[in-house]
Amino acid sequence: MSTYTQPLVSVDVVLLTLKDNQLCTLLARRDVEPFKGEWALPGGYVHTDEDEVAEDSAVRVLATKAKLTSPYLEQLQTFTGRARDPRGWSVSVAYFALVPSSLLPADPGPNRRWVPVAEMDGSEMPFDHADIVRAAVHRLRSKTLYSTLPVHLIPEMFTLSQLQAVYETLLQGKLDKRSFRRHVEALGVLEALNGQTLQAGHRPARMYRVKPSMRGTLTLAPKNLDVLSVD
Amino acid sequence: MSTYTQPLVSVDVVLLTLKDNQLCTLLARRDVEPFKGEWALPGGYVHTDEDEVAEDSAVRVLATKAKLTSPYLEQLQTFTGRARDPRGWSVSVAYFALVPSSLLPADPGPNRRWVPVAEMDGSEMPFDHADIVRAAVHRLRSKTLYSTLPVHLIPEMFTLSQLQAVYETLLQGKLDKRSFRRHVEALGVLEALNGQTLQAGHRPARMYRVKPSMRGTLTLAPKNLDVLSVD
DNA sequence: TGAATAGTGTCTATCAGACAGTATGAC
DNA sequence: GTCATACTGTCTGATAGACACTATTCA
């Protein structure tokens, strides 16, 4: 049994969404010390009496601080050390979550704020939260290259043009329409919906969705390997 | 400040090496309860007085339980929950490490054992250590597809045939010599050593090593993206 | 010389980018 | 009809697999 002082264990959540073609993350104003009054990632201590696993803590944080249930949620990385929190040695299991902005209320609520990640580069953040956000964005961009993870940033049904626009925002560049469609088709994760189309004053676009059998296995490996769980 | 019972925080290390063309991991016999006497991953509590970050704890575990300093070490994933340890709610920050067997003593020491990961599938392990090993092997195999991470499983200088043999072991299949050489060359991480060759009763092979400027950036992204830090 | 392994040349199938073409709606 | 956006055909250059070829050592 350990005789050492135990670290404090919390979770932090990088909740990402697209607003006006910009990748944004939710910040909450801290109402307790340390860093009281500053904008930080939503987070909280693990409640060992009510959470079975740390992911439950992250779900609870999302429900409490963002009034959200069941967006895509994935463990990101764990940030540890003596220096990251003035209260002492701490462990933060960081998660990132993806949600379509259509599921969000227009107003994030008091002491809540959506900040474009592009604007966060220079700015200061409490703890090592700037590192956590960077890691989350990096993970999302990496997975965008070989999976359909970004579907979680748009509503359940979508057109391929909408999906391509999401990819272009995330990857920060134009994609060729033909190549993009070949690419997502090859992933084999999407299915066209028979009669469903989206009208917008021109040729209607077919609607797609993730195949029901593919829910939860959106992250596909480059080629040879099976579905990746982490990475 | 939290009023909840804090979880116990430990680190576990999946130390991987190649022995007789088999990927093996080091197990240690537990000398305390729970699971006393059983074979488990080397691990230990975070020592908040001497470790700056959890990676230091992992380094300490490797030094103590495997008499190893500075092999390749990477954070894998964090395993949490009430159920994984009979002593109560716990957090294990899992790491994986790679080391060439040439750096290992012939005898792993008392209550230490190298086990081929292929033999661990059916067998039971304490805690969720079987999951941790699976995750580590999976991560290693994934990265083998698009990086030169496996160089850490062989000595600093090596021939391309030796490296290819490592890849074939990890990926469990034959690779075409031409394609393999094109592939690793394209990664741009290796450099041939001028006069150095390896003799073995036939045509000598050129020796290679990781470019000194590339140490620590062995994990390369598929194409467009920068170096991946996690994933 | 032959055996064994190292290393290269090169054909071909496949795939991604480029880009032009056609399709279908609103007006 | 025009305009706007959806979708497809197809050329081309790059890449990976296949596999035969040459190269260099020892016995």
- When pLDDT is cut at 50, 70 and 90, the band that residue B195 belongs to is confident
| pTM of the model as a whole | 0.92
Contact with chain A for residue B129, Cβ under 8 A: no
Å between A220 CA and D20 C1'?
36
Average pLDDT over residues B126-150: 95
A-proximal residues of B, 56-75, CB under 8 Å: 75
CB distance B221–A145 less than 8 Å? yes
| Contact in structure between B139 and B96 (CB atoms under 8 Å) | yes
CB distance B135–A229 less than 8 Å? yes
Contacting residues for B163 by C-beta, under 8 A, at least 6 apart: B150, B151, B154, B184, B208
Angstrom distance (rounded) from CA B202 to CA B196: 15
Predicted confidence at residue A100, as pLDDT, reads 96
| Contact in structure between B151 and B210 (CB atoms under 8 Å) | yes
A157 pLDDT higher than 60: yes
Angstrom distance (rounded) from CA B117 to CA B137: 8
Average model confidence (pLDDT) for chain A?
90
Intra-chain end-to-end CA distance of chain A, in Å: 33
Place of tokens 């007085």: B49
B201 pLDDT higher than 80: no
Q: Where are the beta strands (DSSP E) in A20-117?
A: 22-29, 39-40, 43-45, 72-81, 90-98, 112-116
CB distance A82–B54 less than 8 Å? no
Cβ-defined contacts of A204-211 (< 8 Å, 24+): A205/A159, A205/A160, A205/A161, A206/A159, A206/A160, A207/A157, A207/A158, A207/A159, A208/A157, A208/A158, A208/A159, A208/A160, A208/A163, A209/A156, A209/A157, A209/A158, A210/A148, A210/A151, A210/A156
Angstrom distance (rounded) from CA A118 to CA A195: 39
Average pLDDT over residues B22-47: 96
| Closest nucleotide to the alpha carbon of B201, via C1' | D26
Contact with chain A for residue B176, Cβ under 8 A: no
Predicted confidence at residue B230, as pLDDT, reads 33
Å between A161 CA and D4 C1'?
14
B165 pLDDT higher than 70: yes
What percent of chain B shows pLDDT beyond 90?
80
Predicted confidence at residue A231, as pLDDT, reads 35
Measure in Å the smallest separation between the Cα of A54 and chain B Cα atoms: 6
- Eight-state DSSP code of residue A225: S
Measure in Å the smallest separation between the Cα of A53 and chain B Cα atoms: 4
Angstrom distance (rounded) from CA A92 to CA A162: 35
Place of tokens 């967006």: A71
Predicted confidence at residue B204, as pLDDT, reads 94
CB distance B7–A49 less than 8 Å? no
Average pLDDT over residues A5-28: 96
| Contact in structure between A175 and A160 (CB atoms under 8 Å) | no
- When pLDDT is cut at 50, 70 and 90, the band that residue A151 belongs to is very high
The more confident residue out of B17 and A220 is B17
Angstrom distance (rounded) from CA A77 to CA A58: 13
Q: Which of B142, B141, B147, B144 is nearest to B210 (CA)?
A: B147
Backbone angles phi, psi at A6, to 5 degrees: -85, 145
Q: Is A94 helix (H, G, I), strand (E, B) or coil?
A: strand
Lowest mean pLDDT, pick from A17-31, A82-96, B98-112, B189-203: B189-203
Q: How many CA within 13 A on the CB side of residue B226? A: 8
C-alpha dihedral (A219, B228, B46, B91), degrees to nearest 10: -10
Count, residues in chain A? 231
Q: Are strands A90-98 and A8-19 parallel, antiparallel or unpaired?
A: parallel
| Contact in structure between A10 and B1 (CB atoms under 8 Å) | no
- A7, A48, A225 ranked by CB distance to B82: nearest: A48
Q: How many CB pairs (< 8 A) connect A and B?
A: 137
B219 pLDDT higher than 80: no
List of chain A residues whose C-beta atoms are within 8 Å of the C-beta of residue B54: 78, 80-81, 91
List of chain B residues whose C-beta atoms are within 8 Å of the C-beta of residue A141: 225
Count, residues in chain B? 231
| Contact in structure between B8 and A46 (CB atoms under 8 Å) | no
Predicted confidence at residue A52, as pLDDT, reads 97
Contact with chain A for residue B123, Cβ under 8 A: no
Angstrom distance (rounded) from CA A31 to CA A23: 26
Å between A23 CA and C15 C1'?
30
CB distance A223–B145 less than 8 Å? yes
Angstrom distance (rounded) from CA B198 to CA B163: 13
Å between A174 CA and D10 C1'?
21
Q: How many CA within 13 A on the CB side of residue A61? A: 27
Å between A182 CA and D21 C1'?
37
A228 pLDDT higher than 60: no
Average pLDDT over residues A42-69: 96
| Contact in structure between B92 and B4 (CB atoms under 8 Å) | no
B225 pLDDT higher than 80: no
Average pLDDT over residues B127-131: 96
B178 touches strand D (CB under 7 A): yes
Average pLDDT over residues A199-216: 88
Q: Please, what's the b/e burial string for B56-89 (b: 16 or more CB within 10 A of its CB; e: otherwise)?
A: bbbbbbbeebbebeebbbbbbbbbbbeebbeeeb
Q: Amino acid letter at B153?
A: L
Angstrom distance (rounded) from CA A22 to CA A166: 9
A179 pLDDT higher than 90: yes
